Amino acid sequence: MKKKHTFRIDSIGTPTVKSPLKLGHEKGDKIFNFINKSNKYVFDLSFEAYQHCLKTKEEPQFLEKAGPRERIFFNPKKTKAAIVTCGGLCPGINNVIRSIVMGLYYFYGVKDIIGIPYGYEGLNPEMGHNFIPLVPDRVKDIHQFGGTILGSSRGGQEPSVMVKTLIQNNIDILFTIGGDGTLKGAAAIADEIKARGAKISVVGVPKTIDNDIDIIDKSFGFETAFDIASPILRDAHNEATGAYNGISIVKLMGRDSGFIAASAALAMPVVNFVLIPEMKFNLYGETGFLEILKKRLNRQHHAVILVAEGAGQHLFEEKHVVKDASGNIQHQDIGAFLKDRIKEYFTDIPVTIKYIDPSYIVRSAAANSSDSVFCSKLAYHAIHGAMAGKTKFVVGKVNGKYVYLPIPEVTKKRKKVNLEGEFWFSVLQSTGQPFII
């Protein structure tokens, strides 16, 4: 049985305003219907969970369906919304910004929309950043570019200072686009708002290129990341095969989870070894990575190694832990480390080693078509939830359905690649590497 979660979504008040959306109420009228309280999805779809509920008479856990409500909390003509982007760059941020602005402006008639510059820094007046007015003409083409037009930063600010800024500027809704640290900051902002008795909705759109947000199926930008990595791996393979005993080492993002590296290896099946943070591999010994690599070279005379940035950190000497402004541990460069160890190990046979780190190119790319569609849907569902007065929630896909989730539930832990799961088994089948190194 999966562990129990708390999926109740907080609200800042009772929705009493009639939605301006002209939607239907019943099936068969060929008009999309409003979402009502009975529209929910079962969280755990396993047969085991089904049997458990039958046996114990317990009600299964439900997720609240995302979408437009007939009654909303905010009067659109008097509503002011703000958007902030935090953390590292990720394909699709501008798509989300664009869709939030367009959706608020054209769906609900919210005309007062501002951008908070440079992450949560923009909510601290001492930093001296000015708000950015956002209108359709300003954002209509930004989806064609990577990065974020609002700028970003790492690290939080004092919640009391940020909430004071929101209140002083009459902001009713704050859309936060970011990963684990950003979402925890959003939850802290929502708690401070509640403590002050203010009526401000705080919404999270989960952004992490590593796809490590818990519970949700995937985060935006993830598909683009391994899509862009595919031709890089192809070229790395060309480099490796172009030399006798050629070795290409490619490092991709993945601080704590190896989803990008594993997915890229499946998308471009020229990779021979995938090393991810979830696995603790040995370098030396008969079953160690270096000896297995030697056997590979003796057979095929080339190898492509794909490594996630957080892999192999156990191989480094223990040093003082350094963290970035977001509280993330700054990892040692596993790619350069492997290059040096391989060079030292192969003294009896000649090898040619190329080390490629395209991480920042991947991060700053524009979203592909699939992610563009995904970003738009996330943004629209975020708008609907916010206008209904829901707060301290994120929008995401779970079991293929768009739902609302409490921020604290998705930030309890990072999602990891299951080494006993079918996904990782597919990677092992593709690469041919041993199950355990």
Q: Give the residue numbers of the binding site.
A: 88, 154-155, 179-182, 208-210, 253-255, 309, 360-363
Contact 203, 82 (CB under 8 A): no
CA distance 414 to 215: 9
Residues pairing with 173 in the sheet: 81, 201
Strands (E) in 262-388, as ranges, are: 273-275, 302-308, 352-356
Q: Residues forming the annotated binding site for Mg(2+)? A: 180
Q: Is 210 a catalytic residue?
A: yes
Contact 154, 325 (CB under 8 A): yes
Per the structure block, which two tokens stand in for 61? 């856990």
CA distances from 415 to 46, 161, 180, 251, 328 (A): 19, 31, 11, 20, 15
Contact 172, 74 (CB under 8 A): yes
265-270 long-range contacts, CB within 8 A, separation 24+: 265/233, 265/306, 265/427, 265/430, 265/431, 266/426, 266/427, 266/430, 267/226, 267/227, 267/229, 267/230, 268/229, 268/230, 268/231, 268/233, 268/234, 269/430, 269/431, 270/233, 270/234, 270/236, 270/237, 270/304
Contact 322, 330 (CB under 8 A): yes
Residues pairing with 174 in the sheet: 82, 202
Contact 265, 232 (CB under 8 A): no
Q: Residues forming the annotated binding site for substrate? A: 208-210, 253-255, 309, 360-363
CA 96-99-101 angle, to 5 degrees, is: 110
Q: Which secondary-structure segment (H or E) carries 404?
A: strand 401-406
Q: Residues forming the annotated binding site for ATP? A: 88, 154-155, 179-182
CA distance 103 to 109: 9
**Amino acid type, 294:** K
Helices 369-387 + 93-102 axis angle, to 10: 40
Selected catalytic residue, list 172, 210, 212, 227: 210
Q: Which secondary-structure segment (H or E) carries 196?
A: helix 180-196
State the catalytic residues: 210
